[in-house]
Amino acid sequence: MSTLSDLVERYAYLEPAQVEWLHLLVGDWQFISDLAFADLVLWLPTEDGNFVSLAHCRPSTGATVHYEDIVGTFAPDSVRPQLEKALVDEEVQRAREPRWFGTYAVREEAVPVRCNGHTIAVVARQTNLGSGRTPSRLEINYVEAADDLMNMIATGEFPSPNAATGSRRGAPRVGDGLLRLNAEGEVLYASPNALSCFHRLGVLGPLIGQSLVEVTAELIEHKVPVDESMPLVMMGRAPWRTDIESKGVCLSVRAVPLLENHERIGAVLMCRDASELRRRERELITKDATIREIHHRVKNNLQTVAALLRLQARRMTVPEAREALEEAMRRVSTIALVHDSLSQNLDEEVEFDEMVGRALRLAADVAAAGISVRTIQRGSFGLIPAKEATPLALVLTELVTNAVEHGLSATGGGTVEIRAERTGKHLKATVSDNGAGFDEGRGPGSGLGSTIVRTLITNELQGTIDWSNNETGGTQVVIELDMHG
């Protein structure tokens, strides 16, 4: 399916600001469709005099008119005259008679879309009249609010560029609860769901005729932090969202000011009981903070262990014992680095490149012992599942250490290269050096480091490992595995 921007670029020319205006309209017109009980279709005039559909919105409160997808199609001949008149006259055009779609009638209205004094498109408001019943008081208030908003589209006063952006989680919808306010912020109408929301908050009795901001202010506990924008939202003065909390109940409220000739004539407020959502969010925040603190403490404890091993190694007079403690210190430090990264990022996958780069440089510096060693990292490991990050980091640091201690030390220094090739979940990592290589008759080392590498690759990572001598000298180790996270 073509996007709105693609269709605009293909069939007409609009300024970037005008295209952005259409995006703002389409991104926030679902609640107008729900209020109007009508389909909304955005029609763009083309350079050849036709109209192409850029976007289509179906109401969640009533029956739709178009069951099929009409985005990217051209306006039927029967609709085009009304669209052209709305475009030329720059006024709302209402059809005198309903148009029949098979077995049901549809009432149609064409509304010009104004942006900075220019009419750039037309919104068709199409209402399915199939029910044929007398509208309720709720439906009448819905439609009246929709009429005001459609007039604002025609005068360029909707959408509002100053409306709040960001996450839509918990955003109230028309069916969650709706209030209509006058210019002074007094309640003209409150839907049954809206009344239920405010009753849970602690409001007693009817809301009609009362100042909503005064009613709400009396319920807020003094020790509870209050959003500074709350009064503006509750009076309908700003197109923002706010949360109101009292006695364990949280209401999410969104205001849409109603304007006429740039003068505020009232507002539409949508509200939703978001208590359970906020409770779960707080639980997740608490759990995330706890997990982060655990990783941080584990990292600190491991660094303490590494420091103790370093102190103990300095006191050792037997070289073999000192080397064993230094190797243990290096392995503990590598695990600490992984936990440090996990404490900063609680996702199920971690960015492995920066973390392993620090570990490999540390391993090379510790193992170098006076010789000149350079480490090169090529390619990208990408995102690695958290549970596989520790064993993989240990494997790579062991291989780099072995390359320095057993390969480069014999030649007085050199280069260790770590190359990563990632294809989907498959990872191929190569550790190579330009040192002395190993005796092919004896095979690769059988020390503790090599044993650790084989065990981690086989048991923890379910991968394969292969040692070989480079044709130009040195050793090459190839690891291949599939990420299981």
| 116's tokens | 């900075």
Cβ-contact 393, 363 below 8 angstroms: no
Provide the 10 A C-beta neighbour count for residue 287.
11
Q: Decide if pLDDT at 370 tops 80.
A: no
Lowest mean pLDDT among 106-120, 231-245, 335-349, 385-399: 335-349
If you average pLDDT over residues 275-288, what whole number do you get? 74
Helix extents (H) in 241-385 = 275-315, 319-344, 352-368
Q: Which of 163-172, 226-235, 254-263 has the lowest mean pLDDT?
A: 163-172
Share of the chain residues as helix, strand and coil, in percent rounded to the nearest 5: 40, 25, 30
Structural domains of the chain sorted by starting position, each given as residue range(s) with its CATH number in brackets: 4-155 (3.30.450.280), 174-273 (3.30.450.20), 278-482 (3.30.565.10)
Note the pLDDT tens digit of each residue in 53-82: 999 999 999 999 988 999 999 999 989 999
In the predicted model, is pLDDT for residue 223 greater than 50? yes
Separation between Cα atoms, residue 135 and residue 129, nearest integer Å: 11
pLDDT at 423 over 80: yes
351-369 mean pLDDT: 70
Mean pLDDT of 194-209: 90
Query: Is pLDDT above 80 for 243?
Result: yes
Lowest mean pLDDT among 177-181, 210-214, 239-243, 438-442: 438-442
Q: Could you report the per-residue pLDDT of 10-23, keeping only the tens digit for each?
A: 999 999 999 999 99
- The rounded mean pLDDT for the chain is 85
pLDDT range class, residue 188, cuts 50, 70, 90: very high
Q: Torsion-angle region of residue 270: left (phi > 0), alpha (psi -120 to 50) or beta?
A: beta
Find the helix or strand (DSSP H, E) in which 101 lies.
Answer: strand 99-101
Q: Which residue has the higher pLDDT, 318 or 180?
A: 180
Does residue 363 register a pLDDT over 60?
Answer: yes
Residue of 319 and 108 predicted with greater confidence: 108
Coil vs helix vs strand at 173: coil
Q: Is 80 left (phi over 0), alpha (psi -120 to 50) or beta?
A: alpha
pLDDT at 286 over 50: yes
pLDDT tens for 289-315 read 777 777 777 777 777 887 887 788 787
